[in-house]
């Protein structure tokens, strides 16, 4: 458990399930009423869990992520850095960094523009992510083809490189469309 975390009413955090296993909570996170972090989860720094935002076991949440109210994340999923889940979102696959996902089941709706602007991301970084998302959502490409295209011809920003790395490491699939 890190420093400066804020846990509101009726929040639950479960410990790891086996010997040597643990649940990890970073620093400066804000957990609103009835939020739940199940066993063996890893929550980064500066995250916000709205009321009843819930994680099943073995979920990883990146720094600065926002979990919308009444949202549920399936076990073994990953939520990328600076990602945002809309309220009542059902997540059954990984949510890429820098994106807003919403729905039941979740799909990526857009780049987390307001969140990135508030954190001081450059216009070049934001434009690169928007351009990358257009390719990822293009129906003429499957995910592997889109990743290949972006690696070869896409924007060359650190954020797009992180997005591509995240997509390549997915074991559950990604909530793009």
Query: What are the tokens at 118?
Result: 């508030």
pLDDT tens digits, one per residue of 137-170: 999 999 999 999 999 999 999 999 999 999 999 9
> Which element (helix H / strand E) includes 66?
strand 66-67
pLDDT tens digits, one per residue of 31-83: 999 999 999 999 999 999 999 999 999 999 999 999 999 999 999 999 999 99
Contact 155, 128 (CB under 8 A): yes
3-state secondary structure at position 94: strand
Query: What are the tokens at 103?
Result: 């729905």
* Selection from 108, 114, 118, 39 nearest residue 79 by Cα: 108
Q: What is the DSSP letter of 16?
A: P
pLDDT tens digits, one per residue of 71-124: 999 999 999 999 999 999 999 999 999 999 999 999 999 999 999 999 999 999
Domains and CATH numbers, the chain: 6-111 (2.160.10.10), 116-168 (1.20.1180.10)
Q: Sorting pLDDT into bands at 50, 70 and 90, what band is 18?
A: very high
């Amino acid at each position: 458990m890190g420093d400066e975390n804020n846990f509101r009413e009726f929040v639950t955090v479960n410990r790891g399930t086996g010997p040597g296993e643990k649940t990890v909570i970073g620093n400066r996170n804000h957990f609103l009423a009835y939020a739940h972090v199940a066993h063996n989860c890893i929550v980064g720094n500066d995250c916000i869990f709205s009321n009843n935002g819930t994680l099943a076991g073995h979920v990883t949440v990146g720094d600065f992520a926002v979990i919308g109210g009444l949202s549920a994340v399936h076990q073994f999923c990953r939520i990328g850095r600076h990602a945002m889940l809309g309220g009542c979102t059902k997540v059954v696959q990984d949510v890429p960094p820098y994106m807003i996902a919403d729905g039941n089941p979740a799909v990526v709706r857009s780049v987390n523009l307001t969140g990135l602007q508030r954190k001081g991301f450059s216009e070049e970084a934001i434009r690169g992510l928007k351009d990358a998302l257009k390719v990822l959502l293009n129906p003429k490409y499957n995910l592997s083809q889109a990743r290949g295209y972006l690696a070869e011809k896409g924007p060359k920003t650190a954020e797009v490189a992180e997005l591509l790395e995240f997509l390549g490491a997915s074991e559950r699939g990604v909530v793009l469309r």
